[in-house]
């Protein structure tokens, strides 16, 4: 990852830099889901909603002329935390398939809300201008943006590492293994799981803000249930309950997606030529 901005032009494949940027952004989202699913046993089927909330916050604020990242990003992360608090407080009163379905239902509610916002493009989406940080970093510069995303990925990895190996993380993993025993030991498991759910949503909101900046566009498709399904596959593919598993799963998933798309394009081209 570190040398990709120089390696890609050297081998004549400049688009690899863009591909790796996208991969790192979705890796952050996958890491956030792994925190609650891999370590807490909470399988959320609506986690992509926080990508949409984070992205739309950046897009809507830039639409109103507020492109200052020091304002956009705290608001985006804070809103994701508020939504995660509301969704988690209700969802965590259920278990198993009921938890999965209620997280899906909440995400679809926000998805259809995005479609109904005609002022902000509705189903067609809306443009999002890149954040500014008072001259500290220029996100319009491809190299600066790449390393900004890379730095955010490292920061999220470090944060999750500290959480997982803290007392809080041990309790969270205990809830996954045997919640009844943790309650018998006197731990308020509901509060621990809710706190993890909120942290996870806020981290995913970072991925949403990065995605809006990278794509310079945001639409309700970013939080559709199929995107949540993609995140689930990324985590499972790389290995749940491991720190670097979501990154590996994201790389494998997106490479496989690119390969399938190329094969489909080749088949369509061959069919059209025939």
The secondary structure of residue 126, as a DSSP letter, is E
How far, in whole angstroms, is CA 125 from its chain's centroid?
A: 18
Location of structure tokens 């670097």: 244
Phi, psi at 67, each rounded to 5°:
-110, 10
CA angle 186, 191, 192 (to 5 degrees): 80
State the chain's maximal CA–CA distance in angstroms: 70
Location of structure tokens 């990242």: 69
Instruction: Please tell me whether residue 4 adopts helix, strand or coil conformation.
Output: helix
Measuring CA to CA, which residue among 22, 38, 44, 2 is closest to residue 163?
Answer: 38
Burial (CB count within 10 angstroms: exposed 0-12, middle 13-18, buried 19+), residue 15 = exposed
pLDDT for the residue 135: 80
**Do the Cβ atoms of 133 and 74 come closer than 8 Å?**
no
Gyration radius of the chain's alpha carbons: 19
Measuring CA to CA, which residue among 233, 247, 232, 212 is closest to residue 52?
Answer: 212
Distance, in Å, from the CA atom of 169 to the CA atom of 195, rounded to the nearest integer, reads 11
Handedness of CA 15, 146, 62, 201 (dihedral sign): positive
pLDDT for the residue 272: 54
Q: What is the pLDDT of residues 182-227, one digit of tens each?
A: 999 999 999 999 999 999 999 999 999 999 999 999 999 999 999 9
Alpha helix stretches (DSSP H) within 64-141: 69-91, 97-116
**Do the Cβ atoms of 2 and 150 come closer than 8 Å?**
yes
Percent helix, strand, coil in the chain, to 5, is 75, 5, 20
pLDDT for the residue 9: 66
Residue 176: count of CB within 10 angstroms of its CB: 18
Pull the structure tokens for residue 266: 């080749």
Distance, in Å, from the CA atom of 62 to the CA atom of 161, rounded to the nearest integer, reads 33
pLDDT for the residue 261: 74
pLDDT along the chain (274 residues), means of 10: 68 75 95 95 94 95 92 96 96 93 95 91 90 88 91 96 95 93 93 97 96 94 93 94 94 85 72 55
Cα first-last separation, the chain: 41
């Amino acid at each position: 990852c570190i040398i990709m901005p120089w390696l890609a032009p050297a081998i004549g494949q400049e688009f690899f830099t863009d591909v790796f940027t996208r991969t790192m952004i979705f890796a952050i989202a996958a890491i956030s889901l792994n925190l609650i699913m891999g370590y807490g046993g909470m399988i959320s089927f609506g986690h992509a909603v926080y990508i949409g909330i984070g992205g739309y916050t950046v897009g809507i604020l830039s639409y109103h002329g507020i492109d200052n990242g020091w304002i956009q990003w705290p608001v985006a992360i804070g809103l994701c935390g508020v939504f995660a608090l509301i969704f988690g407080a209700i969802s965590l009163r259920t278990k198993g398939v009921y938890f999965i379905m209620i997280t899906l239902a909440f995400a679809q509610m926000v998805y259809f809300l995005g479609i109904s916002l005609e002022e902000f493009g509705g189903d067609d989406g809306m443009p999002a201008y890149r954040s500014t940080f008072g001259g500290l970093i220029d996100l319009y510069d491809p190299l600066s943006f790449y390393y900004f995303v890379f730095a955010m990925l490292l920061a999220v990895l470090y944060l999750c590492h500290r959480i997982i190996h803290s007392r809080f993380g041990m309790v969270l993993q205990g809830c996954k293994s045997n919640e009844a025993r943790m309650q018998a030991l006197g731990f308020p498991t509901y509060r621990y799981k809710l706190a993890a759910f909120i942290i996870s949503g806020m981290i995913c909101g970072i991925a949403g803000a990065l995605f809006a900046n990278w794509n310079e566009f945001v639409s309700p498709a970013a939080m559709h249930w199929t995107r949540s399904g993609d995140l689930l596959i990324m985590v499972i593919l790389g290995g749940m309950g491991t720190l670097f598993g979501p990154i590996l799963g994201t790389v494998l998933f997106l490479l496989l997606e690119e390969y399938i798309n190329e094969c489909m394009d080749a088949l369509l081209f061959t069919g059209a030529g025939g």
